[in-house]
Amino acid sequence: MDLVFLAVKSTQLEAATPWLTALCRPGTVVCVLQNGVNQEASVAPYVPGSPVVPAVVWFPAQAQPDGSVLLRGDAHLTLPDVPASGMVLEALRGTWCSVDVAADFTSVAWRKLMQNAVAGLMVLAGRRSGMFSRDDIAQLSLNYLRECLGVARAENAVLGDEVPREILDYFQANPADAGTSILYDREMGHPLEWIIRNDVIRQRGRSHGISTPISDVVVPLLAAGSDGPG
């Protein structure tokens, strides 16, 4: 193939390896539609010689019991400003999924990671977006997001002090029954993407000498909820 979209969860990457081997050759552009900021590093070993294009995915979709998918907002991708992104732009031109290219992709990716990280609190509470209307959860979320912001800036993301409040506002404006993919995985008993959504912040914080006390609590609880035992 000239272009491959890799849209499995990070926990399913190993299982997708035979597909990548069959579909890719040197030069195949692989667009990674996954969470996190490690997309290139995690996928590149499986597709030697293929350009890997990371994507920030804005796709608020929820699978329904009848097999349909409920899309709660517009489908949108943000790509880095690299030559291989041009093939993705051309492939999706005129479709329901809009695409833009960001000169500062690092900042966009880390902002989305912050949003994904705080969504993990829904897993621990077993609740959907309505929980963010609680004053105690709102304050916890802001504290967690500010912790994440410190790590993001150390990773060269250019994000202002207002970003944690904006992300919280986003969750508070959601319908009370709106969920997130990591919550749906927990409800279905699937492995959770706790490493790429939450632990990466703790690990990058350690590498920069940044204290992450909230991550130090959230990550083990998500890991146990995903992997057990018990």
Tens digit of each residue's pLDDT (9 = 90 or more) over 41-82: 999 999 999 999 999 999 888 888 898 988 888 999 999 999
Residue tagged active-site, from 10, 29, 85, 112:
112
- pLDDT of res. 70: 87
Per cent of the chain over pLDDT 70 is: 100
- The two tokens of residue 160 are 């202002």
Catalytic annotation present for 9: no
Please give the Cα distance from 86 to 230 (Å, whole number).
47
Beta strand 56-58 with 52-54: parallel, antiparallel or unpaired?
Answer: unpaired
| Residue 230: Cβ within 10 Å count | 5
Q: What is the pLDDT of residue 61?
A: 82
pLDDT at 46: 96
pTM score of the predicted model:
0.94
pLDDT tens-digit map of 196-223: 999 999 999 999 999 999 999 999 999 9
Q: What is the pLDDT of residues 13-37, one digit of tens each?
A: 999 999 999 999 999 999 999 999 9
Q: Which pLDDT does position 190 carry in this prediction?
A: 94
For the chain, list the domains and their CATH numbers.
Answer: 3-103 (3.40.50.720), 106-227 (1.10.1040.10)
pLDDT of residue 63: 80
